[in-house]
A and B are shown apart, each in its own frame.
Chain A
Amino acid sequence: AQSVTQLDSQVPVFEEAPVELRCNYSSSVSVYLFWYVQYPNQGLQLLLKYLSGSTLVKGINGFEAEFNKSQTSFHLRKPSVHISDTAEYFCAVSDRAGGFKTIFGAGTRLFVKA
Chain B
Amino acid sequence: EPEVTQTPSHQVTQMGQEVILRCVPISNHLYFYWYRQILGQKVEFLVSFYNNEISEKSEIFDDQFSVERPDGSNFTLKIRSTKLEDSAMYFCASNSLGSTDTQYFGPGTRLTVL
Contacts and interface: CB of A to CB of B under 8 A. Distances in A.
Give the size range of A's interface with the partner: 20 to 34
A63 interface: no
Contacts, number: 51
Nearest to A100: B100
B33 interface: yes
A18 to B, nearest CB: 25
A45 B54 CA distance: 25
Given A43-B107, A43-B108, A96 B100 contact: yes
Contact of B91 (A43, A96, A105): A43
A42 B110 CA distance: 10
B59 interface: no
B100 A104 contact: no
Interface in B25-80: 31, 33, 35, 41-45, 48, 55-56
A6 B102 CA distance: 20
B1 interface: no
B47 to A, nearest CB: 9
Given A43-B107, A100-B95, A105-B42, A49 B33 contact: no
Contacts of A104: 42-44
Nearest to A41: B110
A10 B45 CA distance: 23
* Max chain B C-beta neighbours (<10 A), residue from A44, A98, A99: A44
A99 B55 contact: yes
Contacts of B43: 44, 90, 92, 102, 104
Contacts of A42: 107
Interface of A: 32, 34, 36, 42-44, 46, 49, 51, 90, 92, 94, 96, 98-107
Given A49-B101, A94-B101, A100-B103, 13 more contacts: A34-B102, A43-B105, A43-B107, A44-B43, A51-B101, A90-B43, A100-B100, A101-B33, A102-B35, A102-B43, A103-B45, A104-B42, A105-B42
